[in-house]
Every structure is written in C-alpha cells, then in structure tokens.
Amino acid sequence: MPSATNIGAARRLATGTAANRPPARAFQKKRSAMGRNDKGHVGFIGLGTMGREMARNLLKAGHSVTAFDIVGSAVEELASAGAVAATSPAQAAASADIAITMLPDTPQVEEVVYGAQGLLASPPAGRLIVDMSTISPVAVRRIHADLKATRTDFIDAPVSGGPIGAKNAALSIMAGGEAEAFARAEPYFRAMGTTITHVGAPGAGQAVKLCNQLICGINIQAICEAIALGRASGVDLEQLRNVLLGGSAASWMLEKLGPAMISGDVGAGFRIDLMLKDLRLVQEQAQALSVPLPGTALVTSQYIEARAHGEGANGNQALFRVYDRMTNRA
C-alpha cells in the first residue's frame, strides 16, 4: 500500500501548483476551439460532387451554412437542405466564422480569393479561410502570404476518400498552416472527416495530398494490369479480386473500383480529368524539387491516352479501357 507521503506527492503532481498550473481561461479557450459540440457559421464555396456532400455534412452536424457555386441549381439543392443561398463568394463568407472552398483547380481557387467579389477583398468575419481543393503548393503559399497581410488565416486542407468518403463524412483531411488556425478549423473538419491531421506549414497539406494521388494513380494502373493479365489467362475476375483482397495486394482502390473495372462500369465518381490534373501537379512539384518519378510519368501518359479517347468525364476506373485498347478488347 502506498504511504501517505507518496499519496500526497501524487496528488500534488496531478493537480499542479499555482505556479505551474495552466490558467483556467487559456484552457477554456482551447476547449472552445477544439470542442466536439462547437457550432458555427460556414461560408461554403464550391458545390460539386465532393463539395455538396461536405456542405451537407456540416449542416447535419449543426453548423449553419451559406453556400455559393457558379451552378445555380447546386446552390438551390443545398438550400433545400437548410443552407442559405449566396450570389457571390464574398456574400457567402460575409458573416461566416470560416469560409471553405472546394473547387476543381488552382485557377478557380485564385479567382475566388483574388476576384472582384472574392475573399481577399471581403474576408469572412472570422478571418479564417480553408481551401479543401487539390491545388498547387506554390499557389497555396502565395495565397497564405497575401491573406496574412489582411490578418486572415489560411489553411490548405485537401482531402482523400472520394465521393463515398465525402457522403459518409469519412474523409481523410491533411492540413497545412499555423497550429492555432488549424485548431479553429478542426471542429468543422470533424463534421466531414474521420482522419484529421495537421501535417505542417502552409502548403504541406497539398504536398501530402500529391503523394496520396501519386500512390492512387499507380495503384489503379497496377490493378488494371492485374485484371488484364488475369482476363487473358482465363481466370474468373471476381474470384481474382476476392483472392487479392485477402492478401498483401489488397487496397482501397481494388475494393472500391475493382468491381466497376470488371463490369465495365465507367460512371463518374472521381473523374479521369481530375486525376490527370492532380498528376500534373505531382509532376510539377517533382520537377521543381528535382525528384524523378518514372512510375508517375508512365501512368500520367495513360491518363492522357484515356482522355484522348473521350474518357475524361468518366470515373478513374475507366483507365482500364486503356488496357482494353492495348489488348484489342475495346
């Protein structure tokens, strides 16, 4: 049994002294910024395949959302779910605690930030902007610096998980930026994702996302090659997939996209065009840093071939059509 002296020491260690105990005010402020019950007002800009589901999940979590998209019907659809419609990015963000953008590429994000009705001229009331698109890390650092000059924090927080992850609020979110800004954004991230990681300084989120896309692209290519070889060998492709899922070749892509490859379903989830954009960003980053990526270069050429054959609007699994053409099965 521990002695009374030891018990007293343990209590002092657990409670701390007045000198070393954190101030109650600071602790409460941190809890408020990070607490799971925090609700706020979000200006959400970009209601495409991913964005509309992410905005819906923010509403489901109890946040209020004011939304903008260049496609009016997308705004009307979200308004029917409880959002407030806006007619410009500035209006969407005007009274928001946080503005979130989810857009196709770097130029669209730059237009929303720097445009006449953009966020640089009219920052959100909470002075916090989070871009969850996949864009250039170089652009991210420039945007961060320009917004910082207006006392507005900027977080780059691209996501992985695709439309399914967006719908199920199960995205992986990788965020770059200052730790305090990340802490302010985290309660909103919890409404959209399950794996939420602060990966470093501004631009680090995009760097991690590009590494993610590199792996995804090469993984899809490997699955295409395995299915092509299995088909030529006369193997039952469903059995092939099930066996591979039970061993070291298992992957998210094989589980989620394998059935569509086998059945010939090219319906869009994450489109060929968007993956090709991401692979372009990967190669730009690699060239700037003198990192050779021969596998990425090869799969990029196959995505280019797919788009040249009119597959750009099809889902990622349509890369298998390249192998159909190469094996004279098209």
- Give the C-alpha separation, 196 to 182, whole Å: 10
198 beta partners: 175
Q: Taking a C-beta distance cutoff of 8 angstroms, is the pair 121, 96 a contact?
A: no
39 is catalytic: no
Greatest alpha-carbon pair distance for the chain in Å reads 83
Question: CA–CA separation, 107 vs 154, rounded Å?
Answer: 17
Catalytic residue among 39, 209, 256, 277: 209
- Helix-strand-coil split of the chain, %, nearest 5: 55, 15, 35
Count CA atoms within 13 Å of residue 73 on its CB side.
0
* Residues 6 or more apart in contact with residue 83 via CB below 8 angstroms: 44, 55, 59, 65, 66, 67, 75
Residue positions annotated with a catalytic role: 209
